[in-house]
């Protein structure tokens, strides 16, 4: 008896006086809850649709992203009663394969305002009915409908607060995106759009990880990363344009939610120039702002000091360690060392100036870029990662470039040695770019709000500071005289220096993974294997050269061909195949099967995330298209975007409540084979081949 009493008591406590029991769907428990136990005539309270979402599943925000559908509610109300729209909490990003969706997991409350008419009579109890339509997705997407209701007493005065739900509903309102008087503009630039936002809520805030959720699903490519550039008063986001910007057109506004650090603010941007302070490269700083009165001399000094300290940054150390091996290699030969030092310095300074020129030019063209902008490009990051890998393999002895390390003392003065030093200086600057040393920030912030001549001067001193330690060591006889003489130890030293280069390649690979996701990461791994293969082949040919192997010219041709193949594999075009489809109907399936043709039926919907992923990564590939053509497969598409009773019945007959569902009917009859919910080209091709035999 105690057990059943506990159960009954728990059920009673779970039911507020004003709310009906939850409507239990398969993966979401939905109910209506209120923050007051009734309301007075003409009064307003808040009612929320509460969703308890099963672990591993999710529902959607007002803009669902690349696929999905938002939750909808339709009220049936007594005369004079009114219910407002949902107040949507800020969503979370839900990546699925190549798609990006916005939605909720766990528990979410969607509050609404409920207003009683002034003519409502105290003492009455009014029941409000709501039809809720939601989409819940994991590997499959299931549309769910619930008929919910809530009964509210009409009170003579203010109704008492509901102690259970007033707090959670208030929290839902507090966590929802708030108006903050932000100033926002946007500027289209080819395939991207710069969204600049300033305001008191952003000034001095930690904007790392800021993300813009648009209200309109067509304005941006949701799956692409959003580059962030912070400013004194706000930030600028570089977004990849969506359909709304195609054909040279642009929407009148770009509205949505800016989320960062657990906060969210409403944004409504209009077309126009970025407001002051939206980025580190904006108009001159206001009087009294940090760095505004720095001046050219102070900025140049700060840049020189920042360049000196930049040599100590972890991202630069692998390059300098590699170059230290060449200094040790000449064993105190001062003339060769000086030439090496000057060539390294020239490469460093030239690259700093080139980066500054490119940054100034891009900013003048309206792009939202900042220091380290070259590492915002995934192809550039991938190329640098492969270059670091190639250098590491060379240091490990897999192949040779130029003279060996043991003979470096005699070859430092020749052209290839100086070119190598120049290249090392340039490479060190490129890799150093994402690091910002002390003193650099104010100097660069000041420089990039000035004229191009002043900006280039500051970057020149940054390069001088960066190159100074290496050049001074090369000109210091005391230091050079203490360097050990060349010998067998250098081969071990050289191979040890390969590991910082491997670490640099791994770090750049991690950067690429953050920028481009798993698909491009897989391409980079493939390219890395080919680079290693190219290095091994080159080393093999070099070792055979003395016994009649290939000539040096032929070696280089082979190497260049492999590098070209690496480029083709690393960044192939996203080629898709268009499959001919026809609408699904049970009668058409029967007709095609009577003809002895294999039939593939795709039960799908536009709002189904797994369906869209499968379509992109499996069904739209050339391998599947060729298999369908080779085996004369009839492809039927059962589109459930709009509810269809026939499709729903077919799904139920196969034990499914939602899409996707993939059926492969064989040539010679029999039951259909059910394919997995997550497809690969290989799964589909094997199913087609099996169906043609069955």
Question: What does the pLDDT read at residue 415?
Answer: 39
Q: Judge contact between 252 and 203, C-beta under 8 A.
A: no
Of 49, 133, 51, 57, nearest to 101 by C-alpha is 57
3 state SS of 373: helix
Other CB atoms within 10 A of residue 669 CB: 10
- Express each pLDDT in 357-372 by its tens digit: 776 776 555 444 445 4
Other CB atoms within 10 A of residue 486 CB: 18
Q: Is 36 exposed, middle or buried (0-12, 13-18, 19+ CB in 10 A)?
A: buried
What CA–CA distance (Å, rounded) separates 98 from 380?
21
Contacts 24+ apart (CB under 8 A), 281-286: 281/229, 281/359, 281/363, 281/368, 281/369, 281/370, 281/448, 281/449, 282/231, 282/449, 283/449, 284/449, 284/450, 285/232, 285/445, 285/446, 285/449
Rg (CA), the chain: 33
Q: Report the length, in residues, of the chain.
A: 694
What CA–CA distance (Å, rounded) separates 650 from 381?
49
| Strand spans (E) along 199-233 | 211-214, 227-230
What CA–CA distance (Å, rounded) separates 446 from 303?
10
* Top-tier CATH class for 582-693: alpha beta
Of 466, 319, 340, 467, nearest to 387 by C-alpha is 319
pTM: 0.56
Of 609, 603, 517, 614, nearest to 60 by C-alpha is 609
Question: What does the pLDDT read at residue 17?
Answer: 33
Question: What does the pLDDT read at residue 446?
Answer: 67
Question: What does the pLDDT read at residue 492?
Answer: 75
What is the CATH topology of the domain spanning 14-174?
A: Immunoglobulin-like (2.60.40)
Question: What does the pLDDT read at residue 159?
Answer: 93
Q: Judge contact between 58 and 94, C-beta under 8 A.
A: yes
3 state SS of 493: helix
Question: What does the pLDDT read at residue 82?
Answer: 97
Question: What does the pLDDT read at residue 662?
Answer: 95
Q: Crossing angle of helices 498-516/378-395, nearest 10°? A: 160
What CA–CA distance (Å, rounded) separates 278 from 267?
14
- Domain boundaries, given as residue ranges, for the chain: 14-174, 183-271, 296-376+402-496, 582-693
Question: What does the pLDDT read at residue 438?
Answer: 52
The ranges of the chain with pLDDT < 70 are: 1-25, 247-248, 280-294, 310-334, 337, 359, 362-377, 380, 400-417, 420, 430-450, 476-491, 493-494, 497, 514-519, 545-578, 694
What CA–CA distance (Å, rounded) separates 131 from 290?
56
Helix, strand and coil content of the chain, in percent to the nearest 5, comes to: 40, 20, 35
* Whether domain 183-271 has CATH 1.20.930: no
Q: One fold for both 14-174 and 582-693?
A: no
Give the distance from CA 662 to its chain's centroid.
30
Question: What does the pLDDT read at residue 523?
Answer: 79
């Amino acid at each position: 008896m105690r057990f059943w009493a506990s159960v009954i008591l728990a059920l009673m406590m779970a039911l507020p006086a004003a709310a009906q029991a939850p409507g239990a769907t398969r993966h979401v428990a939905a109910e209506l809850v209120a923050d007051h136990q009734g309301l007075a005539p003409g009064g307003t309270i808040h009612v929320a649709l509460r969703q308890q979402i099963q672990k591993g599943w999710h529902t959607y925000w007002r803009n669902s992203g690349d696929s999905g559908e938002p939750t909808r509610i339709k009220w049936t109300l007594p005369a004079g009663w009114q219910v407002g729209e949902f107040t949507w909490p800020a969503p979370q990003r839900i990546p699925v394969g190549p798609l990006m969706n916005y939605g909720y997991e766990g528990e979410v409350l969607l509050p609404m305002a409920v207003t009683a008419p002034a003519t409502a009579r105290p003492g009455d109890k009014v029941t409000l009915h709501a039809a809720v339509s939601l989409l819940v997705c994991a590997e499959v997407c299931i549309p769910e409908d619930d008929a919910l209701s809530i009964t509210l007493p009409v009170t003579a005065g203010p109704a008492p607060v509901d102690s259970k739900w007033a707090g959670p509903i208030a929290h839902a309102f507090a966590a929802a995106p708030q108006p903050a008087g932000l100033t926002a503009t946007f500027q289209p630039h080819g395939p991207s759009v710069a969204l600049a936002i300033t305001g008191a809520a952003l000034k001095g805030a930690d904007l790392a990880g800021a993300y813009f959720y648009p209200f309109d699903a067509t304005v941006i490519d949701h799956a692409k990363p959003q580059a962030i550039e912070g400013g004194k008063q706000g930030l600028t986001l570089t977004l990849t344009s969506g359909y709304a910007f195609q054909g040279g057109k642009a929407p009148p506004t770009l509205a949505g939610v800016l989320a960062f650090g657990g906060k969210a603010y409403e944004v409504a941007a209009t077309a126009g120039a970025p407001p002051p302070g939206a980025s580190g490269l904006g108009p001159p700083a206001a009087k009294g702002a940090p760095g505004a009165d720095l001046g050219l001399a102070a900025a140049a000094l700060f840049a020189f000091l920042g360049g000196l300290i930049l040599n100590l940054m972890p991202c630069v150390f692998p390059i300098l360690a590699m170059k230290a091996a060449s200094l040790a290699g000449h064993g105190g030969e001062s003339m060769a060392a000086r030439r090496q030092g000057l060539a390294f310095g020239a490469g460093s300074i030239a690259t700093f100036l080139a980066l500054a020129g490119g940054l100034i030019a891009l900013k003048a063209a309206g792009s939202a870029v900042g220091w380290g902008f070259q590492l915002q490009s995934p192809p550039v990051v991938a190329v640098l990662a492969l270059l670091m890998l190639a250098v590491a393999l060379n240091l490990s002895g897999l192949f040779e470039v130029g003279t060996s390390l043991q003979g470096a003392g005699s070859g430092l003065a020749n052209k290839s040695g100086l070119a190598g030093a120049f290249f090392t200086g340039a490479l060190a600057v490129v890799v150093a770019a994402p690091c910002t040393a002390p003193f650099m920030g104010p100097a660069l912030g000041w420089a990039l709000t000035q004229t191009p001549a002043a900006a280039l001067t500051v970057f020149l001193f940054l390069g001088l500071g960066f190159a100074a330690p290496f050049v001074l060591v090369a000109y210091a006889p005391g230091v050079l005289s203490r360097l050990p003489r060349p010998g067998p130890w250098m081969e071990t030293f050289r191979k040890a220096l390969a590991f910082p280069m491997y670490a640099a390649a791994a770090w750049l690979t991690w950067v690429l993974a953050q920028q481009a996701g798993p698909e491009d990461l897989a391409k980079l791994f493939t390219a890395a294997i080919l680079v290693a293969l190219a290095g091994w082949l080159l080393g093999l040919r070099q070792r055979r050269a003395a016994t009649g192997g290939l000539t040096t010219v032929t070696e280089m041709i082979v190497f260049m061909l492999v590098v070209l193949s690496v480029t083709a594999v690393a960044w192939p075009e996203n080629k898709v195949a268009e499959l001919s489809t026809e609408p699904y109907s049970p009668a058409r399936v029967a007709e095609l099967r009577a003809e002895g043709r294999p039939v593939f039926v795709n039960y799908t919907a536009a709002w189904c995330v797994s369906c869209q992923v499968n379509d992109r990564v499996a069904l739209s590939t050339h391998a599947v298209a060729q298999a369908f053509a080779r085996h004369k497969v009839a492809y039927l598409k059962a589109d459930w975007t709009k509810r269809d009773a026939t499709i729903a019945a077919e799904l139920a007959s196969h034990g499914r409540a939602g899409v996707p569902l993939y059926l492969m009917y064989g040539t010679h009859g029999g039951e259909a084979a059910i394919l997995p919910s997550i497809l690969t080209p290989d799964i589909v091709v094997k199913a087609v081949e099996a169906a043609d035999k069955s």
